[in-house]
Amino acid sequence: MAQSADAVVIGAGVIGAAIALELNRIGLKTVSVDKNPAAGYGSTSGSCAIIRVHYSTLEGTAFAYEGYHYWRDWADYLGVADERGLAEFRETGCLVMCTAQNNMMRKHTEICDQLDIPYQRWSAEQVVEKLPIYDMKSFFPPKRMEEAGFGEAGTGTVPGAIHFPTAGYITDPQLSTHNLQRAAEAAGGTFLFNRTVTAIRTANGRICGVTLDDGSTIDAPVVINVAGPHAAKVNEMAGALSDMTITTRALKQEVVHMPSPEGFDFFRDGPVISDSDIACYCRPEKGNFILVGSEDPDCDPREWVDPDDYDTNFTDQWTTQAHRYAQRVPSIGIPNQTRGVVDLYDVSDDWIPIYDKSMIPGYYMAIGSSGNQFKNAPIAGMMMARLVDYCEAGNDHDADPLHYTLPQIGRTIDVGFYSRKREINAESSFSVLG
């Protein structure tokens, strides 16, 4: 016997769970399907779960600042209890080094001024006062370990940084997704785990449901692809690729876990840090560890993979990232054994997500988000719910894009910014803080 719903959400990561919650809140009963055993067990669980408010575009910055408010007031946003407790937002702030690579953060701060986002300018001396383990010599441009001159400082120094106080990270990204699942269930949604969608069905020119790997079916007039690194495969299954000028694919990423230097409590005193001079970002981790990720400099090869068949082992990228960070923190000890996370991003052609309808009526996409949109999950869920409502009411989002007012900051954005049919956005930074 077929199950029925108002909408099927493919994927129960942090974005998928937030979309399910918000669809139920506007009265659309959802069934969420995920191949993993629980919510948030895919790429969400490998996320550094950084909450930041600076972006290289006005739209991205407004969206991120809106998202910050829900993490800050997480219990109020959810409105329900979770037997596992609620995820913690550690508001450590985010420190972004001013470099030639980011034009000394001029554009970012101009955008923040437009949106009344607080920040402070720190001199190099103020950075070292806060982080006495830091050496502010410049090592730009980033190099690989095998390149001549790796680890040798240039003649200049990093002149300072911008500190954003309304930033930090979520300590347990999987738990935050479980929180969203419980809120969605309380609003009427259901979740199916250890199930894979094997077919996306249409009838009379529009979506009519999905078929699962056990042969069961779910009838629904709406299907939303929130499959993370598997998103491209789901789009291919749906036959939704032919009008897309922006597509996504899975990119392997490695995050390094390193112990804080002896005598300094990075977990207590360290912020989230973005440092394009050495092409690394980092954040504190419990146990007084530092998580170090890559900002994807041009010198590093990008390993595009099949999300169902890729090497989950660390490579020399781990070692390169560890030694790059040691340039900035020369007293840090590099572990003899690799420790950290190997996981995937779902990356669009310009590293900006696709939040959109598709060429198939009833089929929607929230993709290209893993690695860069964790911070935006609640507001992405709200916006996608409004987009579904807008399109299902007969509006043509391609010709007349939805304009959506962000509830917390009151800024109206053109949702067409996230269109599958856009041109590559040259204002993108083409990197993330994962």
Distance CA 358, CA 308 (A): 24
So what's the pLDDT on residue 433?
57
Peptide bond into 141 cis (omega under 30): yes
Other Cβ atoms less than 10 A from the Cβ of 154: the count is 12
Secondary structure of residue 97 in the 3-state scheme: strand
The greatest distance separating any two alpha carbons of the chain, rounded to the nearest whole angstrom, comes to 72
Distance CA 220, CA 239 (A): 17
The structural domains of the chain, ordered by start, are: 3-85+172-247+350-418 (3.50.50.60), 89-165+248-343 (3.30.9.10)
Helices (H) and strands (E) counted in the chain, each on its own, are 10, 24
DSSP classification of residue 13: S
So what's the pLDDT on residue 1?
59
Least Cα distance to 304 among 266, 249, 255 occurs for: 249
End-to-end CA distance of the chain: 42
Q: What is the pTM of this model?
A: 0.97
pLDDT, mean of each 10-residue run, the chain (434 residues)? 92 98 98 98 94 94 97 98 98 97 95 98 98 97 91 92 98 98 98 98 98 98 98 98 97 96 97 97 97 94 96 96 97 94 94 97 95 93 98 98 98 97 82 58
Residue that has been written with the tokens 């009519």 in this structure: 208
> Which strand ranges, in their side-by-side order, compose the sheet holding 217-219?
3-4, 217-219, 206-212, 197-203
So what's the pLDDT on residue 434?
46
So what's the pLDDT on residue 323?
96
